[in-house]
Each structure stands twice: as structure tokens, then as C-alpha cells.
Amino acid sequence: EDQVTQSPEALRLQEGESSSLNCSYTVSGLRGLFWYRQDPGKGPEFLFTLYSAGEEKEKERLKATLTKKESFLHITAPKPEDSATYLCAVETSGSRLTFGEGTQLTVNP
Amino acid sequence: DAGVIQSPRHEVTEMGQEVTLRCKPISGHNSLFWYRQTMMRGLELLIYFNNNVPIDDSGMPEDRFSAKMPNASFSTLKIQPSEPRDSAVYFCASGGYNEQFFGPGTRLTVL
């Protein structure tokens, strides 16, 4: 059974304090790893897709990296508007995504 | 582009009643997904369609749940009869290969 584990469950940062979120996975055959951002009361918003170990993608203050067992979402000099829940998901067969529980990030001004 | 449209945004009903959730995917997307999100279980895939055909419904919890996609621009998720444990936020998403765009969700409360 495919498993996705995200850590930490919650993270509080001061504005400008860089950090990383972790997504570890156990799957039979990875076709893609996805990162989403979810704000309260809204649907998840697509951020990145990573396909192979060693791949990196960046968007503003966010950078996602992938290894054979885990992915990291690095947040550089975060701002309060980066506060959200960040979800990781893996695609194995077809278009089926299995999501992790998410990391709730709070950035204080 | 208006994005994925879901209706209603909120639904409160009583146990035993039929509930129908609606979704309009983004034009041109050939895949449509129904998810359920709860605090206990997180975000779970219920069913997905490709070119209006159900491909994987293994996440549908039981026979009380059914989903249809009569055409490329409309899908429904029906719960009959509803139970309190069905209370959750139900999301519809559409996409092509390697991208899924989520709607705003329907918050369902079954009393």
C-alpha cells in the first residue's frame, strides 16, 4: 500500500526564518510527486510536480527537491502570506494521487 | 477561466436525505476527480473519470455513494441515504496529465 508521511505536522516560523518541510513516501512505482498549498476554506492549489530523483523546481520563495525516498519543500525568507497547509501527494497508477496529512505552516510577522 | 466550479458551497441536511453535489470542470480537461477531506483521514480520492468514463472508484466508501459524468462539462456525486459520518468537505478537481486543479469544495454537514 502506498504511504505518504509529512513532517512536521505544524511549523511556526518568524518572518525571514528559512526552513524545510519533509515528505517521505513508500510506493510501488512513483510516477510523480506533487506539492500543493491549501488555505483555510479553499481547495488545494497546485505548486509543483517532480518526476525523478535529483529534480528541483522553484517558485518565488519555494523550492522543491526529490530523492528516491523523500521530497523537501524549502521555504526561503518566508513572509506571513506563506502561511498555509502544504500537502504532498504521490502518483503511482493512472492519475490516482495519494496525499499526506499536510504540514500547517504559520509565519509570524 | 473560472476554474473548477462546485455547487453548492455549503449543504446542511438531515440523516437519511439524498445529497447531490455538482461540479463543472475546467474546459479542455479530460480527467475529473472527486475527493473527500476530513480532519481524521485527510484528503482521499473517491473516484476519477477520464474522458467521462469512470476509471477508478475504489475509494467510494460504500454503495450509498454514486458518481456520474454525463458529459465533459458536468459531474455529480450523490449520497443516498446520507449519514452523519459523511460530513466532510468534498472537492472536485480536473486536469490533464500531471496536474490537478481543485475547486473550492462543498462543505457537507449531515445532522
By the CB < 8 Å criterion, does A63 face chain B?
no
| Pairwise CB contact (< 8 Å): B98 & A49 | yes
By the CB < 8 Å criterion, does B104 face chain A?
yes
Question: Closest-CA residue in chain A for B40?
Answer: A101
pLDDT in tens, B8-67: 999 999 999 999 999 999 999 999 999 999 998 899 999 999 999 999 898 898 899 999
The predicted pLDDT at position B97 comes to 64
B-chain CB neighbours of A46 within 8 Å are 99-102
Interface contacts (A, B; CB < 8 Å): 51
Q: How far is A14 from chain B (nearest CA, A)?
A: 26
Q: How far is B34 from chain A (nearest CA, A)?
A: 11
pLDDT in tens, A43-68: 999 999 999 999 999 999 999 999 99
pLDDT bracket for residue B1 (50, 70, 90): low
pLDDT bracket for residue A96 (50, 70, 90): confident
A30 has a pLDDT exceeding 90? no
pLDDT in tens, B62-100: 899 999 999 999 999 999 999 999 999 999 999 876 788
Q: Which residues of B67-78 are buried (b: 16+ CB within 10 A; e: fewer)?
A: bebeebeebebe
The predicted pLDDT at position A12 comes to 98
The predicted pLDDT at position B27 comes to 93
By the CB < 8 Å criterion, does A64 face chain B?
no
Residues 11-40 of A with CB under 8 A from B: 32, 34, 36
